[in-house]
A and B are shown apart, each in its own frame.
Chain A
Amino acid sequence: MLADRVRQYQNQTERFLAGKLSESEFLPLRLQNGLYVQRLAPMLRVAVPYGMLSSAQLRKLAFIASHFDKGYGHLTTRQNIQFNWPSLSEVPDILKHLAEVEMHAIQTSGNCIRNTTTDQFAGVAVDELEDTRPYCEIIRQWSTFHPEFAYLPRKFKIAVCGTKVDQAATQVHDIGIYLTQNSEGLIGFRILAGGGLGRTPVIGKEIFPFVEKQYLLSALESILRVYNREGRRDNKYKARIKILVKEIGVEEFQNKVMQEWELIKNSALLLTDDEITRCKSCFTDPNYESLADTPASLSDRLQNNILFSSWHTQNVKPHKISGYAIVTICFKETGVAPGDVTDRQLNHLAQLADEYSFGEVRVSHQQNIVFADVRQDKLYDLWLGLQSESMSSPNLGLLTDMICCPGGDFCALANAKSIPIAESIQREFNDFDNLIDIGEINLNISGCMNACGHHHVGNIGILGVDKKGEEFYQVSLGGSSKNQASLGKIIGPSFAQEEIPGVIQKIISIYKSQRKDNEKFIDTYNRIGMDPFKEQVYAKAD
Chain B
Amino acid sequence: MPKLIKDGEAVSDYWTVLKEATGPEVLKAVPGKNFLVPLSFWKNYQEELNDYNGNIAIWLDSHDRVSDLDDSIHDFPLIALNFPAFSDGRSYSNARELRTTRNYQGEIRAIGDVLRDQLYYMQQCGFNAFAVRYDQDIDDCLTAFGDFTTGYQATVAEPTPLFRRR
Chain A residues proximal to chain B, CB less than 8 Å:
1, 4-5, 8, 12, 20-21, 25, 28-29, 111, 138, 141-142, 144-153, 225, 228-229, 233, 263, 267-269, 271-272, 275, 278
The reply to whether B93 and A147 form a contact with Cβ atoms under 8 Å apart is: no
Q: How far is the CB of A123 from chain B (nearest CB, A)?
A: 21
Residue total for B at the interface (Cβ-Cβ under 8 A): 36
The reply to whether A4 and B148 form a contact with Cβ atoms under 8 Å apart is: yes
The reply to whether B153 and A147 form a contact with Cβ atoms under 8 Å apart is: yes
**Among listed B27-35, B72-80, B104-112, B155-163, interface-contacting one:** B155-163
The yes or no answer to B121 lying at the interface (CB within 8 A) is: yes
Given A25-B86, A229-B93, A268-B164, are A141 and B152 also a contact pair (CB < 8 Å)? yes
Contact partner of B166 (CB less than 8 A), chosen from A4, A8, A228, A278, is: A278
User: Residue among A12, A29, A138, A233 with the most chain B CB within 10 A?
Assistant: A233
Q: How far is the CB of A23 from chain B (nearest CB, A)?
A: 13
The reply to whether B117 and A12 form a contact with Cβ atoms under 8 Å apart is: yes
Contact mask B78-121 → A, CB, 8 Å, 1/0? 00000000111110111010000100000000000001011011
The reply to whether B115 and A147 form a contact with Cβ atoms under 8 Å apart is: no
The yes or no answer to B154 lying at the interface (CB within 8 A) is: yes
Q: Which residues of A contact B128 (CB under 8 A)?
A: none
Contact mask B29-46 → A, CB, 8 Å, 1/0? 000000000000000000
Once bound together, how far apart are the Cα atoms of A150 and B155, in whole Å?
14
Residue of A nearest to B63 (CB): A233
Once bound together, how far apart are the Cα atoms of A180 and B118, in whole Å?
38
Q: Which residues of B contact A138 (CB under 8 A)?
A: 163
The yes or no answer to B51 lying at the interface (CB within 8 A) is: no
Given A29-B117, A147-B151, are A272 and B163 also a contact pair (CB < 8 Å)? yes
Residue of B nearest to A138 (CB): B163
Contact partner of B121 (CB less than 8 A), chosen from A150, A152, A228, is: A150
Q: How far is the CB of A245 from chain B (nearest CB, A)?
A: 18
The yes or no answer to B71 lying at the interface (CB within 8 A) is: no
Q: Which 7 A-B pairs have the closest CB atoms?
A: A151-B89, A147-B124, A147-B121, A275-B163, A141-B152, A268-B154, A148-B92
The reply to whether A151 and B153 form a contact with Cβ atoms under 8 Å apart is: no
The yes or no answer to B125 lying at the interface (CB within 8 A) is: yes
The reply to whether A150 and B152 form a contact with Cβ atoms under 8 Å apart is: no
CB-contacts of B129-166 with A (<8 A) = 137, 147-155, 159-164, 166
The reply to whether B88 and A269 form a contact with Cβ atoms under 8 Å apart is: no
Once bound together, how far apart are the Cα atoms of A147 and B122, in whole Å?
7
Residue contacts A-B, CB under 8 angstroms, 26 given: A1-B149, A4-B149, A5-B148, A8-B147, A25-B115, A25-B117, A29-B117, A142-B153, A144-B152, A145-B152, A145-B153, A146-B152, A146-B153, A147-B92, A147-B121, A148-B89, A150-B89, A151-B86, A151-B89, A152-B89, A153-B89, A229-B90, A267-B154, A268-B161, A275-B166, A278-B166
Once bound together, how far apart are the Cα atoms of A140 and B163, in whole Å?
13
Q: How far is the CB of A261 from chain B (nearest CB, A)?
A: 13
Contact partner of A263 (CB less than 8 A), chosen from B89, B101, B125, B152, is: B101
Once bound together, how far apart are the Cα atoms of A228 and B121, in whole Å?
15
Q: How far is the CB of A404 from chain B (nearest CB, A)?
A: 31
Q: How far is the CB of A146 from chain B (nearest CB, A)?
A: 5
The reply to whether B152 and A269 form a contact with Cβ atoms under 8 Å apart is: no
Q: Which residues of A contact B160 (CB under 8 A)?
A: 268
The reply to whether A28 and B87 form a contact with Cβ atoms under 8 Å apart is: yes
